């Protein structure tokens, strides 16, 4: 039986991960926290508390009262928002991670922290991007992700904190909207198709990035935390991959279901340059070997499922 605290629970990932954790471990065992109040449906499904994850004291008290033995740390500022306010991104991403790791060290919790394809930079090999490779990102978001990976490794090596994590690709989901990342187009394109039959994309037609459907991302987050620690060589920041998409490839697949769907392009130079610096396809063989990672959704299965759920409203 696990008792879990989730930070940033109201975001794109948390709104999927919290229900899955509650299904697996019991609703009362999972305390959802966020800096803002969540929707009444999310709150009534189980315990919820407003907690600023950058406040170590508040995180510590919430962990103690809930008697948590694991923390899923999702609170963060994402890539595009981070470029608008770099100091905020550094403050939120680093201060909250340090707070969570210190609380975990004091109270003996395991910690899941997501890294990202954004941790890589333009001089990283792009396809395939190896598990262990050159990482010199040019965004403040990426810098916090690399620093976070290293800090999680440090807390494991130095203090024995059971830190684990994956590098998520761009995540595609219905429900809670994405929080201001560079891959938001891959979610918005579905809404555009269903609601208006067209979509204006902010990156070029041939911009290839790793993407994943949210049910697979949630399985990865739970899977790495349940993995046999004796088999883990890397522990933190496993590359995980499911599909490589460009806007034109995704648009063509959507057009098979939404006749006459039109895509046009108004490129945002900031997000285009971020996307250009990220991998085209990650090598996830370490995750496959060390804890049995395997995605279930490919482009066709994801597109069908997304459109079905969005059409149901």
State the nearest-atom distance from the C-beta of 166 to ligand NAD, in Å.
Answer: 9
Residue 78 found at the interface with ligand NAD (CB under 6 A): yes
Q: Which of 141, 155, 156, 213 is catalytic?
A: 141
From the list 5, 6, 10, 163, which residue makes contact with ligand NAD (rule: CB under 6 A)? 10
Q: Which is nearer to ligand NAD, 37 or 44 (CB)?
A: 37
Nearer to ligand NAD, 80 or 307 (CB): 80
| Whether residue 141 lies in the annotated active site | yes
Task: Count the residues of the shown chain that bind ligand NAD, applying the rule CB under 6 A.
Answer: 28
Using rule CB under 6 A, residue 11 touches ligand NAD:
yes
124 is a contact residue toward ligand NAD (CB under 6 A): no
CB of 136 to ligand NAD, least distance (A): 18
Closer Cβ to ligand NAD, 46 or 114, answer by number: 114
Cα separation, 214 vs 302, in Å, equals 9
Question: Of 45 and 255, which has the nearer Cβ to ligand NAD?
Answer: 45
Segment contacting ligand NAD by CB under 6 A, of 74-82, 150-158, 194-202, 256-264: 74-82
Residue 168 CB neighbour total at 10 angstroms: 23
Site for ligand NAD in 245-304 (CB under 6 A): none
The residue from 21, 42, 53, 220 that contacts ligand NAD (CB under 6 A) is 53
Q: Which of 19, 46, 137, 181 binds ligand NAD (CB under 6 A)?
A: 181
Task: Supply the DSSP string of the chain, one letter for each residue.
Answer: ---EEEESTTSTTHHHHHHHHHHHH-GGGEEEEESSPPPHHHHHTS-EEE--TT-HHHHHHHHHHHT-SEEEE-----HHHHHH-HHHHHIIIIIHHHHHHHHHHHHT-EEE--EEGGG--TTS--SSB-SS-----SSHHHHHHHHHHHHHHHHHHHH---EE-EEE-EEE-SSSPP-S-TTTHHHHHHHHHHHHSEEEESS-TT--EEEEEHHHHHHHHHHHHHS-GGG-SS-S-EE---EEE-HHHHHHHHHTTSTT-EEEE---HHHHHHHHTS-SSB--HHHHHHH-------HHHHHHHHHHHHHT-
Where in 136-175 is the site for ligand NAD (CB under 6 A)? Answer: 168, 170-171
User: Residues with catalytic annotation?
Assistant: 141
Q: Which residues bind ligand NAD (CB under 6 A)?
A: 7-8, 10-14, 34-36, 52-54, 74-76, 78, 92, 96, 114, 116, 168, 170-171, 178-179, 181, 183
């Amino acid at each position: 039986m696990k008792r879990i605290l989730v930070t940033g629970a109201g975001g794109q990932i948390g709104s999927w991960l919290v229900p899955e954790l509650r299904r697996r471990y019991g609703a009362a065992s999972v305390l959802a926290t966020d800096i803002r109040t969540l929707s009444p449906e999310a709150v009534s499904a189980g315990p919820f508390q407003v907690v600023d994850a950058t406040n170590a004291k508040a995180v510590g008290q919430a962990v103690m009262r809930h008697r948590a033995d694991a923390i899923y740390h999702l609170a963060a500022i994402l890539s595009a928002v981070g470029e608008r306010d770099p100091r905020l991104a550094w403050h939120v991403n680093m201060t909250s991670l340090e707070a969570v790791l210190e609380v975990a060290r004091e109270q003996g919790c395991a910690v899941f922290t997501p890294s990202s394809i954004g941790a890589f930079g333009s001089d990283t090999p792009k396809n395939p991007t190896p598990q262990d490779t050159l990482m010199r990102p040019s965004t403040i978001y990426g810098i916090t992700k690399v620093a976070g990976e290293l800090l999680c490794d440090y807390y494991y090596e130095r203090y024995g904190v059971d830190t684990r994590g994956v590098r998520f690709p761009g995540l595609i989901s219905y429900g809670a909207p994405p929080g201001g990342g560079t891959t938001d187009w891959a979610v918005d394109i579905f809404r555009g198709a269903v609601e208006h039959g067209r979509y204006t994309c902010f990156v070029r037609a041939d911009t290839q990035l790793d993407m994943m459907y949210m049910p697979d991302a949630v399985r990865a987050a739970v899977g790495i935390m349940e993995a046999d620690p004796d088999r883990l060589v890397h522990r933190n920041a496993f590359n995980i991959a499911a599909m490589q998409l460009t806007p034109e490839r995704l648009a063509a697949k959507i057009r098979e279901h939404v006749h006459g769907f039109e895509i046009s392009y108004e490129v945002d130079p900031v997000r285009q340059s971020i996307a250009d610096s990220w991998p085209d396809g990650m090598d996830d063989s370490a995750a496959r070997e060390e804890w049995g990672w395997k995605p279930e959704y490919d482009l066709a299965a994801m597109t069908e499922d997304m459109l079905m759920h969005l059409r149901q409203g």
